[in-house]
Amino acid sequence: MKYDLNIMGKRIREERTKRNLTIEQLSELIDLSPSFLGLVERGARGLSIEKLITVAEVFDISIDSLLKSNDSTEVTKYDAVKSLLYNLDDTEFNFISNIIKESRKLFKAKAEEDK
C-alpha cells in the first residue's frame, strides 16, 4: 500500500492532540519510541501495517481515515520538502541550500538573457 507520509503523520498528530495525549503516552500505547513517533508525525517515517492497525485501534477510527487528507490536514508542496529536509545534518543542509541558491541565480540570469 502506498500512502503519503505527510498526510498520515498529520492525521496521527491531529487525533493524538484531540485526545490530549502526549507523544510519550501514545508511543507507550502503540509500543514505539517517542522519537520515532515524532518522525512519523512529521512525515519523515512510515509505519508498518501492524502499527497502523494499532494506531487506528487506539483512536477507534478506520485506517482509511489515517491515510486520507481532510480539510484541516491539506498537504502542500512545502510540507513535502520540509519532511525531506528534516533529517539532514548541517553539512547536507548547507549543501542543498547552496544548490538552491545557485540554481536561483542561474535561473534569474537566464531570464535576463531571454529578455
> Does residue 65 sit in the same domain as residue 108?
no
Kindly report, residue by residue over 50-59, the tens digit of the pLDDT: 999 999 999 9
CA dist., res. 70 & res. 111, Å (int): 39
Q: Chunk the chain into consecutive blocks of 10 residues (it has 115) and report each block's average pLDDT, rounded to whole numbers.
A: 76 92 95 95 90 93 82 54 69 88 91 86
> Does residue 19 sit in the same domain as residue 65?
yes
> Does residue 15 sit in the same domain as residue 69?
yes
User: Other CB atoms closer than 10 Å to residue 43's CB: what's the count?
Assistant: 23
> Does residue 19 sit in the same domain as residue 48?
yes
> Does residue 13 sit in the same domain as residue 64?
yes
> Does residue 58 sit in the same domain as residue 98?
no
> What is the model's pTM?
0.60
Task: Kindly report the CATH number assigned to the domain that includes residue 48.
Answer: 1.10.260.40
> Does residue 99 sit in the same domain as residue 69?
no
Which range marks the domain in which residue 52 is found? 5-73
